[in-house]
Every structure is written in structure tokens, then in C-alpha cells.
Amino acid sequence: MDNRNEAADRKRQPEGANPPANKRSKTSETVSADVQRASNKIAQQPTKIHYTRLRRRMDEEEEEKLAKLGPQPNDGTTKLTDVNVDCLEHIFKNLSLIDLLNVADSNKQLKPAADLVFASRYGKQWIFILSRYKSILIFERNMYPPTVQIPRSFRLKLLRCFGHLITKLDITHDKHMDAYVNEYCAESLVEIKFQRCKASTLDDLKKPFTQVKTLCFDSCKLGSKLSELDKWFPKVRRLEFTDRNETAVHFPHLQHLTLSLPIDTNNRLNNLSELLRLYLNTRSLSIIGYFEFKYLQSVSEHLQHLERLDINPFGYFSNVGNDTVHFPNVKKLKLRDVVRESRLRWATH
């Protein structure tokens, strides 16, 4: 009976009131392990934080290096801008002038190769940008037909992209184009011809044309501004006027002079004599237009060092008489329709 009562009392006792000894020991071990793990986690936390910051800093430095190098191809392909200049030049030789202009105007990395192609193909050719033509014409040795022609609407882009490579230019006065020519061609032009320009053309200039050796004015009205030409064209060796200019200008390096004498010019002999006195060391002279025999006498009087003389009169000489003109140093004489008067005599050394 006693045993039965003890068993009943144990059943009535709440669970966990007196746990077995082995259970109490297991619970204590679990708690100790949990405490140890928490302690380790707290001890390792500063190291993880330091590693995360270091890794982030290294990643940022790597991104900065890649940004300085520029975008890198990630698909294994080669872009056109990755090709060297020699290969690009070979490729661009197959392009038309318009395509070459578009390439030079669209990408700075491709422009050096486009410059090489333009310089080798058109650098020494004459470029005509005239208002009477709807196209820009490029001639080799100033001979027809042109090497190439493109719409005139490309004139400003042509000067902006390749002006530093153009050496020979024939242009009609245009305010915007004059400014472009001066801005982009001042250091490259060797020969330039102005057509129908006005005195205001010189007002638009900002810097001199330092390499121009041949300067020509066709049907231009410069007036008093003509005296400023030596400032803007300091190295001229060949000067050509195809119309009347009342004011003369001195070019210290001038070797060749071309003059055109209109029929309606007043006091032509005085103007011619004044002009010739400025170029006493000129070696070559071309005269075109309406003039009398006394003009040649003025030439022989002033240009004692003349070595070449080209005469192309409009019509007959007048008042020839029995006079003789003497050119002691002339080595080459070209007469066009001059010997129509039997009394005209030439004396050359």
C-alpha cells in the first residue's frame, strides 16, 4: 500500500518541480555553450567590421582606376577608336571628302587619321569657294576638270575641320567665311586670292597670314585699307592686282608684280610710276590692260633689276613713234599681240 501511495504522489507532482539530476546537468552545459558562442561572436565583430571597410575602400580605388582608363570593352571586341592611326589612315583613304568631313567633325580620336588623308589628297591643291558656284571646287594645278566638288553648304565645316591643312584658297568675300579663313587658315595658307572683297574684309581679320607668299586681288575695292596689307601679309613675294588701286603698299620681300590697268583709270602714268618706285628690286613684272607706250618707258626707268617681263595689252599701243625701251637685265620677255606696230623696237640685253 505504501508503495502505491508513493507512486500516486509522484504522478500528482508537477513536471519540472524536481527534475532529475541528469537533466539539470544537461541544461547547464547548454547554457554554458550558448554563453561561449555569444562571447566569441562579440569578440570577432570588430575584425569583421574592419575587413568590410577595407574591402569597400579597395573596391572604390579599383573603380577610380578604371574610370581614368576610360570604358573598357567587356565583350572581347575591338572598337574603331582602338585602332592605331596608320590603320585608320588606310581605312579612311576609301572615304569621300564629305564622309571624311563627317568623321573629322564627329570624333576627336579619329580626326588625326582624317587629317593625314586630307593632307595627302588635297593639301597642295587649289580650293575654290566662290559665290558664283553652287559647289566647292578642288583643282589640281588649277586645271579643269576639278578633282572633286562638294556642295557649297560644307564650306564652313571644311574650313573648321581642315583649314589648318589648306595651302591654296580662292574665295569670294563673305563676312562669316572671311572670319573662318582667318581663324583656321592663317598659319597654313601659302597662296590666297580674294574676289570682290571690300575694305571691311581687313577689319574682320584678327591675326596675320604668316605663310602667304602669293597674294591676289580680283575686282576688289580696298581703298585706303590697301596700305595695311603688309601688316596682314608680311611675307608676300608675289602680288597680283586685277583692278585699279589708287593707294600703293610696300612689301619688302616682293619679287613678282602683276598689274592690270583699266581703260577708265585717270592719271594712270602717275599711279604706275608711284607704284613702281616702291618695288625697285622687283625681278618679274606682268602688265595687263589698256596702256600706252610711255608706260613701258616708266617701267624701264624704275625697274632696273627686272629679269622677266610679260606684256599683254588690250588693243594696240598708241604714240609709239620712234622711241626705244631698254631693259638691260631682262632674260625672259613675253609679248602677246604687241608687235603690231612696225615702228616698235625692243632693246634687251
Tens-digit pLDDT profile for residues 75-88 = 557 788 788 889 99
Residues 115 and 209 in one domain: no
Number of Cβ within a 10 Å radius of residue 269: 15
Residue 259 is predicted with a pLDDT of: 82
Are residues 90 and 228 located together in one domain of the fold? no
Amino acid 340: pLDDT: 46
Q: What is the pLDDT of residue 105?
A: 93
pLDDT computed for residue 19 by the predictor: 53
Return the pLDDT at 18: 54
Residue 262 pLDDT: 65
Do 103 and 176 have their domain in common? no
Query: Does 249 map to a domain?
Result: yes
Residue 56's CB is within 10 A of a number of other CB atoms, namely 10
Residues of the domain holding 107: 81-122
Q: Are residues 100 and 175 in the same domain?
A: no
Question: Does residue 181 sit in the same domain as residue 282?
Answer: yes
**C-alpha torsion 165→171→174→177, nearest 10:** -10
Residues 145, 97 share a domain: no
Q: What angle do CA 208, 213, 217 make, to 5 degrees?
A: 80
Spatial separation of the C-alpha atoms in residues 163 and 186, rounded to whole Å:
9
Q: Are residues 109 and 143 in the same domain?
A: no
Contact indicator for 249, 278 with CB cutoff of 8 Å: yes
Nearest residue to 299 (alpha-carbon basis) of 250, 333, 266, 263: 333
pTM over 0.75: no
Write down the pLDDT at residue 343. Answer: 41
What parts of the chain have a pLDDT lower than 70? 1-36, 38-51, 66, 69-76, 142-143, 243-248, 262-270, 290-291, 314-323, 337-349
Residues 102 and 136 in one domain: no
